[in-house]
Amino acid sequence: MFDSLKDKLGRFKDDVEESAEEAEGEAAEDEVSSEAAAETTEPADTDPEPAEAETESADAGEDASLTERAKMFATGQKKITEEELEEPLEQLEMALLQGDVEMSVASAIVENLREELVGQTAAQVKTGEIVVEEAIGDALYDVISVGQFDFDERIAAAEKPVTLIFTGVNGVGKTTTIAKLGKYLEDRGYDVVLANGDTYRAGANEQLQKHADNLDLKLISHEQGGDPAAVIYDAVEYADANDADVVLGDTAGRLHTSNDLMAQLEKIDRVVDPDMTLFVDEAVAGQDATNRAKQFNDAAEIDGVVLTKADADSQGGAAVSIAFVTGKPILFLGVGQGYDHLEKFDPQEIVDRIVGA
């Protein structure tokens, strides 16, 4: 994951360094021009007329400016201008959009980079004082860390049983994600109960029961066609009576435009009052995943996101975009088929992975 994004940002770094070299070349030409002008200046025999004096004063000021620029070049202090960055930044923005990064996110990355790099010296950029890498890292971190919180700390601090509800569209790996998170929490010493609130899909009980059996977890379910809110409520009651720590509730896959199913989520919120509602989607869905996360958050507020199939996504656009667009953090990445293939999302670790060697 992020291979494509890493390549695009690497090309931007090369472009900026090339611009820095060109800037130094221009400064060197200024230095030569300044020295040539000074050598060809004839000494005056008489005091100049007032108008001539003004002209000579302006010329002297221009020469001084050129000399100052030449000194900045000689000492490695030639500064990068906004104009010199404009073409590399435009190319980067287009590359980000082609890599499934949402438009507002691509714009934010570009603007952050412009603010970080304008005014840096060409020597800093050219000689590899990791100025460009740091600027890229800062720009990325700003967009992917929005709303971030420590999932483990929140679970530990919450009153038990903690209730998590999972939602999203059909076929994105929501049920498998619930099983993976059940294993994740069980490994950290929590007693976990699963609840099948997906009461409309044929075979949903059997699918989640198989995961529960594999992981030796308790599953609460009702007959197909039952009330999802009632199932999850019963699971919370069971957890409370049996000193279980966490309830993970599945729900039917839905679109944000499915009024009846969205009304179910609202009823679950009223009846159960979950501690967190997590939106699950595929990383490979790219901008579609970003758009759906925003739409779900608008329709029924979510607290965080889990992206599945992250190991199959070379772009990484959804992972970079979702937090910035929704204001809600990505908490986990699904990176394989096994129960252990769930990776906690750490913004700084992701930045290091993209920007690092």
Identify the domain containing residue 41 by its residue range.
3-144
Question: pTM of this prediction?
Answer: 0.78
Q: What is the CATH number of the domain that holds 162?
A: 3.40.50.300
Asked whether residue 124 falls in the same domain as residue 193, the answer is no
Asked whether residue 240 falls in the same domain as residue 117, the answer is no
Examine the fold and report which residue of 124, 144, 164 is the final residue of a domain before the chain moves on: 144
Examine the fold and report which residue of 127, 144, 161 is the final residue of a domain before the chain moves on: 144
Asked whether residue 41 falls in the same domain as residue 125, the answer is yes
Examine the fold and report which residue of 144, 160, 176 is the final residue of a domain before the chain moves on: 144
Asked whether residue 157 falls in the same domain as residue 193, the answer is yes
User: What is the pLDDT at residue 255?
Assistant: 73
- Domain assignment of residue 356, yes or no: no
| pLDDT tens for each residue of the chain, 357 residues long | 667 677 777 777 777 767 666 655 555 555 445 444 545 555 555 555 555 555 555 555 555 555 555 555 444 556 777 887 888 888 888 888 888 888 988 899 899 888 888 887 766 665 555 677 788 888 889 999 999 999 999 999 999 999 999 999 888 999 999 999 999 999 999 999 999 998 888 888 999 999 999 999 999 999 888 899 999 999 999 999 999 999 999 998 877 667 777 788 889 889 999 999 999 999 888 888 888 888 888 877 899 999 999 888 767 788 888 999 999 999 999 999 999 999 999 999 888 888 875
- Domain assignment of residue 174, yes or no: yes
Q: Encoding tokens for residue 25?
A: 């070349």
- Domain assignment of residue 222, yes or no: yes
- Domain assignment of residue 19, yes or no: yes
User: What is the pLDDT at residue 54?
Assistant: 56
Asked whether residue 77 falls in the same domain as residue 127, the answer is yes
Asked whether residue 180 falls in the same domain as residue 308, the answer is yes
User: What is the pLDDT at residue 75?
Assistant: 47
User: What is the pLDDT at residue 32?
Assistant: 46
CA distance linking residue 127 with residue 135, whole number of Å:
15
Peptide bond into 48 cis (omega under 30): no
Asked whether residue 174 falls in the same domain as residue 245, the answer is yes
Asked whether residue 114 falls in the same domain as residue 219, the answer is no
Asked whether residue 296 falls in the same domain as residue 179, the answer is yes
Asked whether residue 105 falls in the same domain as residue 223, the answer is no
CA 125 → CA 18, 29, 41, 54, distances in Å? 9, 20, 36, 39
- Domain assignment of residue 350, yes or no: no
Q: Convert 1-16 into a string of H (helix), E (strand) and C (coil).
A: CCHHHHHHHHHHHHHH
Sign of CA pseudo-dihedral 126, 130, 135, 136: positive
Asked whether residue 185 falls in the same domain as residue 65, the answer is no
What are φ and ψ of residue 262, in 5° steps? Answer: -65, -35
Question: Is 8 within 8 Å of 88 (Cβ atoms)?
Answer: no
- Domain assignment of residue 354, yes or no: no
Alpha carbon 267 to chain centroid, angstroms: 32
- Domain assignment of residue 79, yes or no: yes
Q: How far apart are the two ends of the chain, measured CA to CA in Å?
A: 15
Asked whether residue 158 falls in the same domain as residue 299, the answer is yes
Q: How many structural domains is the chain composed of?
A: 2
